[in-house]
Amino acid sequence: MGGAHAEVTAINKAGNKANDAELYTTLEPCAHIHHRKIGRPFIVLKLATSIDGKIASADGSSKWITGEETRFDVHRLRAQSDAVMVVSGTVRKDNPLLTVRDCITPKGVSADDVQPLIIVLGKAFDHSRVHPCKEMSGDLYISLDELGEQGLLQVLAEGGATLAVNFYRQGLVDSYLICMSLAIFGGGDALSMSKGPGANNIEDIWRGQTV
């Protein structure tokens, strides 16, 4: 999805000056590289949190924890992904659109051309705004293998703590996008970004690389 990579753009701009030239490039993490190796889409898990790691208040309200700039970036990431995935509970509670609306698309490309497939884990109610969508259930590994066979390279997983913890515990997250707001819920009754028991020992916590 999106525009040409930097190498292609550079060669096109150079024109005939690129003849017999040597190209030096780095291979950055790429959904294509990932898909060819394991057959499943590259999974980006997006969460919007407060400084104290909360994603919703005690009454369940969670809209606009982050600001306009972050929403713009998320829409751009949707445009770069083949699909957006949520659980049915998020659909019932928030009734989201999950479409690309507020992003800069490549020249000559409209937002309609970069709309991702919407995938609901479970059943989306009949009049929800995610329709048309693809409903999936059962084993996550099997579901992701199926999406890989259909040629999906990158899936953006949105939609709360239940989805996040399921993907995390099964080792299915390839990249975390944590959108952190300068806000504090305070206390322990707000909803945390993950559910259930965590690591028992400091040695068991998961550590990644910040990009």
**pLDDT band, very low/low/confident/very high, at 67 (cuts 50, 70, 90):** confident
Mean pLDDT lowest among 3-7, 19-23, 165-169? 3-7
- Tokens 């929403």 correspond to 71
Pick the CATH number of 38-194 from 3.40.50.300, 3.40.50.460, 3.30.479.30, 3.40.430.10: 3.40.430.10
The model's pTM:
0.81
How many residues comprise the chain?
A: 211
In sequence order, the 6+-apart residues with CB closer than 8 A to the CB of 203 are: none
> What's the one-letter identity of residue 199?
A
Q: Does 63 or 94 have the greater pLDDT score? A: 94
- With 90 as the cut, is the pLDDT of residue 11 above it? no
Q: Does 5 or 181 have the greater pLDDT score? A: 181
Average pLDDT, the chain: 88
- Tokens 């982050």 correspond to 66
**pLDDT band, very low/low/confident/very high, at 135 (cuts 50, 70, 90):** very high
Neighbouring C-alpha atoms within 13 Å toward the C-beta of 39: 6
In the chain, where the domains are located: 38-194
Instruction: State what percent of residues in the chain have pLDDT above 70.
Output: 93
- With 70 as the cut, is the pLDDT of residue 2 above it? no
pLDDT at site 29: 57
- With 90 as the cut, is the pLDDT of residue 136 above it? yes
